[in-house]
Amino acid sequence: MMLSETLMPILTASLRENRQGSDRSIQQLTPRERDILKLLAQGLANKVIARKLSITESTVKVHVKHLLKKMKLKSRVETAVWVLQEKIF
């Protein structure tokens, strides 16, 4: 995954602002959501994640939707940046 030099500071600032009122904890995710989070942070597409975990692509989409909601994140990119910034894995 590549982020433009213009986009990275904007995402970083957004994450810092959100962090203050947010209680993001990886512990609130299910083990499968954690697996998907790890692969998502590597920039993998849903189809690739599905193959790696031997599940359907639609199941991956459901897990991504749930983990975004639980972690109060808006997008896959924001999620990847957060994981990398926080050194989750």
Q: Which of 18, 5, 4 is nearest to 79 (CA)?
A: 18
Q: Are the C-beta atoms of 10 and 75 separated by less than 8 Å? A: no
Tell me how far apart the alpha carbons of residues 18 and 41 are, in angstroms, rounded to a whole number.
19
Mind listing the pLDDT tens digit for each residue in 51-86? 999 999 999 999 999 999 999 999 999 999 899 888
State the pTM of this model.
Answer: 0.74
pLDDT band at 11 (very low <50, low <70, confident <90, very high): confident
Q: Which domains does the chain have, with CATH numbers?
A: 29-89 (1.10.10.10)
How far apart are alpha carbons 34 and 20 in whole angstroms? 23
Closest CA to 27 of 81, 67, 74: 67
* C-alpha torsion sign, points 4, 52, 89, 83: positive
